[in-house]
Chain A
């Protein structure tokens, strides 16, 4: 019996959430059956929870505002934004309303709102349906940012988000939906997966037999497949061993756990799919450099996609969007491997 796919895991997590929280509602464009969302993440839920899974008009700002209002009225809400490119339309509601509501009214207010959205390229969807706008949502006080990974359980992540009592934004890489979920043990032919740090934990993938890696790569859930492929290449070609750390909770990042897990490796790389410039990866690189300066043999490097508009043609898309070869090339250049 093969493991469930990420989209099935998200679907199951949402179902469990609706089950466990009777006042929780799920809102979004075309989330009701039979369509069940553009990526089928909400399939079966409107039939199973009539009235609590609701199609909305096409207005991301209105949907997030509605969810925030529901939270103020004592309910929990999950919002699906069909493509992360449209999350910008809800930026004002997220940054100025939802994120500030817990602390703006004299007494603390819980805002148990989860906004989920499908991000990332690799499918030839063109400039406005392929982006990874993670970086624009990082650093907003009161807004926690997550990204789904193949190594975390969506349901557990959703529960931890509700517990925070703050609005949470979760990116789900659309290429990840069809991938299998892995909880522990072997990943591919050379990596072993083990979580580190407090829940929800950071997934650590280590090459079998390695005790001290040559470098640590911190990456998002959407890029992990490419990072592992690059790490495999570096192992096979140069016997250069990378540990790969995959946090789901990206902002604020558990830097203590990352720094602890990276201790001993004298080189660190941070990978995200978003475009270079003001990125999550650059922010994490800065934080790690500040903490680990003195034990590093080179700067912590941020590895991102090119700062360019994403073309629709697959061969041109590959030139702009970060590929596994780009990651391997960046690391081998930084480490002068040949």
Chain B
């Protein structure tokens, strides 16, 4: 319906070098009235002077801005509908309704941190508007996200998990932990374990060999088998009572193999099996769980290659055993060979043990696994 050739826009010109806005003080020609080109149409006032704008063409004036309103440079304040060249002016009965003042659409002010948070959580602009706040801050968006999350039903943690959580939190809160890891080649240990299992009719594997290897470190590395009594003293365990993590269906347990160094490989295998069964049945007793002097965290399921264990409260170190993986290596002749390797690492209480000692401790465990025949021999 708009025919630009039939209409002419009256645009606010720049009236001086300083103002960007003026006041439309009065219409000299009424809305819907016929004007002729050059007639004063409107008075516009700047901060310095009042100026008249003339009608640009013959035609009918349609006001777009009310008297007393501000108008900006470049703003269209009126349309003149051309009446020249035979076009007839529409009969004007009454002034057209002034355009209704735009309702103050309550568009919220949203801070940049709030925008970023909303974007990362896919919160739409409409949902922010629904908050009906004049200023939306990061905390408002966070509350919105929290509310959304709060609508999901709660799932209760098992008592076991709550206890694990308490132990882990206590460890993180109280024990300044450091960490070291070594790679250990286990081809020889695996082969020896298979052979030994057949001979003694018990399932001896890398886990059992590692428990034995750890147990043999007690004399040389007593600080790894200890409990911090206070900030300046340590209670060293008399025997290597090795806690072994057992992640069973209904929770994580750390039953203790008492005086592991005194057990033959087959005895050790049977003891671990007994404890594992009790863990699975949920029949472990307090005596099974009390006071490990060190913990072995088994992280050898699902091909895990590396894990950082926590130091259990009441101990100073926790060794982690990864799954074995096959990889290629160059031997001393430069020939490509396939090997089996595990990662053995230790998290330790840095108040008790330092890095050099931790490295030596791991190297000594690796040395024991490198010589499986000696490791499998019954304790002297």
Contact = CB atoms under 8 A, between A and B. Distances in A.
Contacts of B19: 178
A319 interface: no
B304 interface: no
B21 A124 contact: no
Interface stretch (A155-163, A233-241, A321-329): A233-241
Given A122-B18, A208-B135, 17 more contacts: A2-B70, A5-B23, A39-B47, A123-B17, A124-B18, A174-B47, A178-B21, A190-B109, A207-B135, A209-B134, A209-B135, A235-B111, A236-B109, A236-B110, A238-B112, A239-B114, A314-B17
A189 B134 contact: yes
B109 A189 contact: yes
Nearest to A208: B134
Contacts of A232: 109
Contacts of B110: 236
Contacts of B68: 1-2
Interface in A198-239: 207-209, 232, 235-239
B111 A236 contact: yes
A178 B70 CA distance: 10
Top-8 shortest CB links A-B: A123-B18, A208-B134, A189-B109, A178-B47, A236-B111, A239-B111, A237-B112, A190-B135
Interface in A280-319: 314
Chain B interface main SS type: loop
A148 B48 CA distance: 19
A190 B134 contact: yes
Contacts of A5: 23
Nearest to A314: B17
A2 B134 CA distance: 22
Interface of A: 1-2, 5, 7, 39-40, 122-124, 174, 177-178, 189-190, 207-209, 232, 235-239, 314
28 contacts: A2-B68, A2-B69, A2-B70, A5-B23, A7-B47, A39-B48, A40-B47, A122-B18, A178-B21, A178-B23, A178-B47, A189-B107, A189-B134, A207-B135, A208-B133, A208-B134, A208-B135, A209-B134, A209-B137, A235-B109, A235-B111, A236-B109, A236-B110, A238-B112, A238-B113, A239-B114, A239-B137, A314-B17
A237 B109 contact: no
Interface residues of B, number: 22
B248 to A, nearest CB: 48
A122 B68 CA distance: 24
A236 B18 contact: no
B138 interface: yes
B133 A209 contact: yes
B178 to A, nearest CB: 33
A237 B19 CA distance: 29
Interface string B101-123: 00000010111111000000000
Contacts of A239: 111, 113-114, 137-138
A310 B109 CA distance: 35
A1 B66 CA distance: 10
Contacts of A124: 17-18
A285 B298 CA distance: 65
A208 B70 CA distance: 27
Contacts of A122: 18
B112 A236 contact: yes
Contacts of A207: 135
A37 to B, nearest CB: 11
Contacts of B47: 7, 39-40, 174, 177-178
Interface string B204-218: 000000000000000
B142 to A, nearest CB: 12
A202 B243 CA distance: 72
Nearest to A237: B112
B109 to A, nearest CB: 5
B265 to A, nearest CB: 62
Contacts of B133: 208-209
Interface in B128-150: 133-135, 137-138
A207 B137 CA distance: 12
